[in-house]
Chains A and B, each alone.
Chain A
Amino acid sequence: MSVAFSPAGDLAILVELEGEIGPALSARLLALDRLITESVQGVVEIVPAFRTLLVYYDPLVIGYQGLCDAIAGLEPRAESGTAPQSRTIELPCCYEDPELGPDLDAVAERLGLSRADVIALHSGAEYLVYFIGFAPGQPYLTGTPQRLEIPRLATPRTKTAPGSVGIGGTQSCIYAVESPGGFWILGRTPVPVYDRTAAQPILLRAGDHLRFRAVDRGEYDDLAAAVAARSYSPVIA
């Protein structure tokens, strides 16, 4: 296995591992993440993703080449760690209302599927949370059915509502906060993945499995009210 480096400005370096994206690569990445944190002076923080670690460093403490050499030396030791504790979480999702899933029709048309096909495919799959990124608590999900693969929006939207459930490329996502983004929005879940006022603001963690249950607008509204009243707990197996 090999490791590649490229600069991300003067304060960060992108470290990329070779291999198929999957649980094994993810475990190697997280092991390397831990090794770097424990043993390399001058590292400020690390952001893991699918096949990369973005390593922020202080160039007044360690230079670019010195950091590359240190990480290359650690990489062989980054064996797969123990599998993360796995939970399966079910999130309700309303696909049927265009207010909540504005791109459902466009996706169906572009992929040559019916609306019902898109809903059945998306809610029938099981997703894995690889890492949290883009926004607070926002999960990166793999497991999107192949028939739903679609390039991202050519021009990102400037605003997407929190709870929006979208697809793009091989990924699925749930928007944690109102933000710009390039995913096609199929529906919305009333359960927040980030709640800044909650004792535990982040719902999901790396290694979780996730399923979406299609609900109609009436049930969506009921669940949203229950969430607001703090009387709702997500189904976790």
Chain B
Amino acid sequence: MIVILDGGPQTTVQDLGRFGQLRYGIPPSGPMDRDAFVLANRLAGNADGAAALECTLIGPRFEVHARCAFAVTGAEMPVTINGTPAPRWTTLIAKPGDVVKLGVARAGVRSYIAFSGGIDVPEVLGSRSTYLRGGLGGLEGRALRKDDRLVLFAAALPGVSRIEAVADYAAEPEIRVVLGPQADRFTPAAIETFPASAYEMLPQSDRMGARLRGPAVAHTRGHDIVSDGTALGSIQVAGDGQPIVLLADRQSTGGYTKLATVCSFDIGRFVQVKPGRSVRFRAVSVDEAHRLLREHEVALGMRSSGR
């Protein structure tokens, strides 16, 4: 069992997500940075979809009550065990009484803590992911706070493994997008400007969507459409011409024009951009996106197989 001593600003239980519920208005939730989440689980000896913690900007402090393995990946939050620094991106072993703390993210936004066995919270509509706005799933549908207790499923301790190659969360990432579904509602100049410019991540960004600030993207005939479904990574542009990228806890449908969609394999790098830092976009075709997706999945498999 894990007892939370300090939950940090927003630490939630997530698994890979709640699928099949978008038609009832319930988003998938799940980890914002799927790659970092999956790798944390693999380091802890778990299946990719075991429930783990997502921490935002500042990590939690918790006490371990039974021997377990755990791993920390994602944003560069310094880890200590009983005050002694411990490495990230590797399997760590905690014994009863150990106090683990994750500090302030030096680079990146979201880090992941996976525990051997995975976190045992009830499945709601087929998933353990927390959907904060709907108050569903995870631990009572909310972020963790002091004195919360997390039960782990029983599991044998895994062998220790390490992942060398980690994403550079401090860099300005180039994020691949596919134009559409409503690219025809924007001026040709807007479609040129958008990939050529840097957009700053704003602090109002959250699990629902990332608000960006940069050169305004101009519409040809208004910013309203008859509402339609929103995809993971949909880049909607309201009347002020500023893009909002819709994420794991997004609204299932929306009524603003969507210029483009961030490719699924770049969502993880995108959500690690700290407020105040910037991103650039590059348009690719659907076929190219599918080729890049296959390459990405192969690379993700290779990163965690070399022990």
Residues of A within 8 A of B (CB): 6-12, 14, 16, 21, 44-54, 56, 59-60, 63-64, 131-138, 140, 151-156, 158, 168-171, 176-180, 182, 194, 196, 202
A11 and B231 contact, CB distance less than 8 A: yes
How many B residues have CB within 8 A of the partner chain? 56
The smallest C-beta distance from A212 to any residue of chain B, in angstroms, reads 20
A8 to B23, CA, bound (A): 17
Contact between chains at B229 and A50 (CB < 8 Å): no
Could you tell me if B224 and A151 are in contact, using CB atoms closer than 8 angstroms? yes
- B293, A10: Cβ atoms under 8 Å? yes
Chain B residues in contact with chain A, CB under 8 A? 19-20, 22-26, 133-136, 141, 177-182, 204, 208-209, 222-224, 226-234, 238-240, 251-256, 258, 261-265, 286-287, 289-290, 292-294, 297
Question: B252 to A47, Cβ gap below 8 A?
Answer: yes
Pairs across A and B, CB under 8 Å, 24 listed: A6-B181, A7-B178, A7-B180, A7-B181, A9-B234, A10-B265, A11-B264, A14-B180, A14-B181, A48-B23, A48-B229, A49-B228, A49-B229, A54-B228, A59-B290, A133-B25, A135-B252, A151-B224, A152-B255, A158-B204, A177-B133, A179-B133, A196-B134, A202-B24
Closest to B226 in A: A50
Question: Do the beta carbons of A54 and B134 come within 8 Å of each other?
Answer: no
Which of B134, B262, B263, B289 has the most chain A CB within a 10 Å cutoff?
Answer: B134
Instruction: For the complex formed, measure the closest distance between the CB of A108 and the CB atoms of chain B, giving whole angstroms.
Output: 21
Instruction: Determine the distance from Cα of A14 to Cα of B133 in the docked complex, in whole angstroms.
Output: 26
Q: How far is the CB of A66 from chain B (nearest CB, A)?
A: 11
A-B pairs, 5 with minimum CB distance: A54-B229, A9-B261, A133-B253, A154-B239, A47-B229
Q: Verify B25–A136 contact, CB threshold 8 A.
A: yes
Q: Is the CB of B251 within 8 A of A196?
A: no
Which residues from A are CB-within-8-Å of B224?
Answer: 151-152, 168-169
Expressed in whole angstroms, the minimum distance between the Cβ of A220 and any Cβ of chain B is: 23
Does A10 contact B256, Cβ atoms closer than 8 Å?
A: no
Give the shortest distance, in Å, between A168 (CB) and chain B (any CB).
7
Q: Does A134 lie within 8 Å of B238, measured CB to CB?
A: no
Report the bound CA distance from A8 to B297 in whole Å. Answer: 20
Chain A, Cβ-Cβ closest to B267? A9
Indicate if the CB atoms of A135 and B22 lie closer than 8 Å. no
A52 with B251, Cβ < 8 A, contacts A133-B25, A155-B238 known: no
Q: Taking CB as reference atom, which chain A residue is nearest B263?
A: A10
Q: Which residue of B lies closest to A195 (CB)?
A: B135
Q: A192–B232 Cα gap in the complex (Å)?
A: 27
- In the complex the two chains form, is A155's CB within 8 Å of B239's CB? yes
Chain B residue numbers with a CB within 8 Å of A176 are 25
Contact A64 B229 (CB under 8 A): no
Q: Give bound CA distance, A152 to B255, whole Å.
A: 9
Contact B255 A169 (CB under 8 A): yes
Q: Are B133 and A64 in contact (CB under 8 A)?
A: no
Q: Would B227 and A132 count as touching, CB distance under 8 A?
A: no
Residues of A within 8 A of B232 (CB): 9, 11-12
A9 with B233, Cβ < 8 A, contacts A14-B228, A151-B224, A177-B133 known: yes
Are B231 and A44 within 8 A (Cβ)? no
Cβ-defined contact, B24 with A168, below 8 A? no
Is there contact, CB below 8 Å, between B134 and A177?
yes
Q: Known A64-B290, A158-B204; judge A9-B23 contact (CB<8 A).
A: no
**CA separation between A178 and B206, bound complex, in Å?**
14
A-side contacts of B136, CB under 8 Å = 136, 196
Question: Cβ of A45 and Cβ of B234 under 8 Å apart?
Answer: no
Q: Which chain A residue lies CB-closest to B22?
A: A47
Alpha-carbon distance between A152 and B256 when the two chains are bound, in angstroms: 9
How far, in angstroms, from A169 to B239 measured CA to CA in the complex? 14
With A8-B231, A132-B23, A152-B224 known as contacts, the answer to whether A196 contacts B135 (CB < 8 A) is yes
The reply to whether B178 and A9 form a contact with Cβ atoms under 8 Å apart is yes
Known: A168-B255, A176-B25. Contact between A8 and B133, CB under 8 A?
Answer: no
Residue of B nearest to A11 (CB): B264
Contacts of A54 in B (CB 8 A): 22, 228-231
- A11 and B208 CA atoms in complex are apart in Å by 18
A59 to B224 CA separation, bound complex (whole angstroms): 30
16 A-B pairs besides A9-B178, A156-B256 with CB distance below 8 A are A9-B262, A10-B178, A10-B265, A14-B181, A49-B227, A49-B229, A52-B228, A54-B228, A54-B229, A59-B290, A63-B290, A132-B25, A133-B252, A151-B222, A154-B238, A154-B240
Contacts of B255 in A (CB 8 A): 152, 168-169, 171, 182
Query: Which chain B residues border A182 with CB–CB below 8 Å?
Result: 238, 255-256
A177: which B residues are within 8 A, CB to CB?
A: 133-135
Instruction: Determine whether the beta carbon of B141 is less than 8 Å from that of A196.
Output: yes
**Chain A residues, Cβ within 8 Å of B19:** 44-45
